[in-house]
Amino acid sequence: MSIFVKIYFLNIMTPAALRKQIRLKKSFLCVGLDTDVTKIPKHLLDLKDPIFEFNKQIIDATHPYAVAYKPNMAFYEAQGLKGWLSLQKTIDYLNNNYPAIFSIADAKRGDIGNTSSQYAKAFFDVLNFDALTIAPYMGRDSVEPFLAFKDKISILLALTSNAGGADFQNLKVGEEALYENVIKKALTYKNSDNLMFVVGATRPEYLKKIRTLIPNHFLLVPGVGAQGGTVANVCKNACNKNGDVLINSSRGIIYASSGTDFAEKAGEKAKALQSEMSKFIQ
C-alpha cells in the first residue's frame, strides 16, 4: 500500500473508525480548544503565533488520552485574520500528526441552502475538519447541505448545557419538548447517518431519554467540568451498546495551569478524565 493511499484512508474518520479509536485509547475524551489569548500562559505571548503554539503543546501533551479535538471558532475569529491563520495551522497540525484523531469545528453554523453549502465547503473541504457543529432553527434545507458531504459528520444542537437552553429547547410542542422534535425530524433528513447530536451533560436526567430517541448515533456531550456534569453520569446514561459518546472538556483541561507547566498539567487532567472513562469501555 502506498503512503498516499495509507494517509488517505487514515484521514476518513467514519463513526466506525472513531469507535475503534475509543476502544484503543479507552477514552471518550474530546478536548475543547477554546483558546483565549488573554488566558494562555504569559510566556507564550512573545512567540509569533501564541495561540497555535499553545494548541500544539496542549495537543502533544493530551493526545494519548483524547480521541477528538474541538477548536471553538469564536476564539479564533475574535483574533481576526491572524486567528484564522492560527486555526488553519492547528487543524493542519492535527491532520498531519494525528490523522486518527477526530477533529470538530465548533461553529454552530446554519443558513439557507446555498449558504450552508458554503459553510460546509469552508470547514469540510478547505480546512479539512472531520466534523462541524450546526444549529437547527432554519430546518431541513439548512441542515441537508452539510449532510451531503460524504465521510464528514455534522453535529446538530439538540439540548445544550447552558441555562438559556431551556428558553426554547424545553418548550412543549404537543406532547414533546422542542429538542425531541428537533431530534426526530433530523433523523428523517437525507443522509441522517452523517449526524451526531449535541446533548449537554448538565442535564443527566435527559441523557437516558435522549439515548432512547437516538439509539445509533454518537452524542457529543459538553458541560463536564467547568459546567458541572460528571463523567460517570454521562457514561451511565448516554452510552449505547457501542459507547458512542464524545465527552468534551475545554477549560478544565487547557487552563489547568497558567505557568510554563501548562501542557504537562493539561496532560494530567486529560489522563485523569480518560481514567474515569476507561471504566465504562470494554
Chain contacts with its own copies (rule: CB under 8 A): 34, 36, 72, 74-75, 77-81, 83-85, 88, 106, 108-116, 118-119, 121-123, 126-127, 135-143, 157, 160-169, 171-174, 178, 181-182, 185
Q: Minimum distance between the CB of residue 113 and its own copies, rounded to whole angstroms?
A: 7
- Plot region of 132 (φ>0 → left; ψ -120 to 50 → alpha; else → beta): beta
Residue 241 among the catalytic residues: no
Number of H helices, E strands in the chain: 13, 10
Number of neighbouring beta carbons within 10 Å of residue 242:
16
Provide the grid cell at 226. Answer: 467547568
Nearest to its own copies of 4, 174 (CB atom): 174
89-128 residues labelled b (16+ CB within 10 A) or e (exposed):
bbbebbbeebbebbbbbbbbbbbeeeebbebbeebbeebb
Q: State whether residue 33 is helix, strand or coil.
A: strand
| Least distance CB 124 / its own copies (angstroms) | 10
What is the rounded CA–CA span in Å between residue 209 and residue 203? 11
For its own copies, the closer CB: 88 or 242: 88
Q: Which is nearer to its own copies, 12 or 173 (CB)?
A: 173
State which residue, 24 or 126, has the beta carbon closest to its own copies: 126
Residue 108: DSSP 8-state? E
The one catalytic residue in 108, 209, 265, 271 is 108
Least distance to its own copies from the beta carbon of 102, Å? 20
Q: What is the DSSP string of 49-72?
A: -HHHHHHHHHHHHHTTT-SEEEEB
Give the span between the Cα atoms of 61 and 233, in whole angstroms. 26
65: Cα within 13 Å, side-chain hemisphere:
24
We find the least distance from the C-beta atom of residue 69 to its own copies, in angstroms, to be 16
Phi, psi dihedral angles at 249 (to 5 degrees): -135, 130
Q: Least Å distance between CB 89 and its own copies? A: 10
For its own copies, give the closer residue by CB, 136 or 243: 136
- Shortest Cβ 130–its own copies spacing (Å): 17
Q: For residues 25 and 109, which CB has a smaller minimum distance to its own copies in the complex?
A: 109
CA-only gyration radius of the chain, Å = 18
Active site residues: 108
